[in-house]
Structure formats: C-alpha cells, structure tokens
Amino acid sequence: MSLFDVVRRFGTWRLVLFAGLLLAFLALHLVRIPLVLLALVLQVALGLLNDAATRQASAPPRRPVNDFYAHTGQAGGA
C-alpha cells in the first residue's frame, strides 16, 4: 500500500496522525537514552560507595574502642 493509497482510503488527517505518533514515539525514546545513562552512572557510583562503606565497617578497629579507661588494661586508670 503506497502513501497515496493510504491518503485515498483513510484521509490526510489519519496519515498526519500516524506520522505524529511515530515522531512522538521516536522523541520519547531519544529522551529515554540520557535517563538510562544517568541511571547507569548512579548504579556504578552507589555500588562503589557501598563497597567503600562495607570495607570501612568490616575493618577491625585500629585502636581500642572504649577510650573511657586508660590503656593499661585495668579499670580505674593507671
């Protein structure tokens, strides 16, 4: 079916409507691309942040956790 057959059978306004819907479909997909890339960047950034937080939280302490008492091992100070 040619373009002229479509115009003859359905009218010009149907052809314009079809072209408009096709352009809207393409525009929405073009808008979608940057959003998908932004979601990918956020996924990578949050994954790296999660790995860093996990390493920080699971590392053993470098000094005594309870600094209330002196570091002699006895309660009450030196």
Q: Is residue 78 part of a domain?
A: no
3-10 and 12-58 helices cross at what angle (nearest 10)? 110
What pLDDT was estimated at residue 75?
A: 57
Joined together, the tokens standing for residue 63 give 């000094």
Q: Is residue 16 part of a domain?
A: yes
Q: What number of helices (H) and strands (E) belong to the chain?
A: 2, 0
Q: Which pair of tokens denotes residue 44? A: 């990578």
Range of the domain at 45: 3-57
Cα(1)–Cα(5) distance, rounded to whole angstroms? 6
- In a domain? residue 65: no
Confidence (pLDDT) at 76: 54
pLDDT one digit per residue (tens) for the chain, 78 residues: 888 888 899 999 999 999 999 999 999 999 999 999 999 999 999 999 999 999 999 988 887 777 776 656 555 555
* 69 part of a folded domain: no
Asked, for residue 18, whether it belongs to a domain, the answer is yes
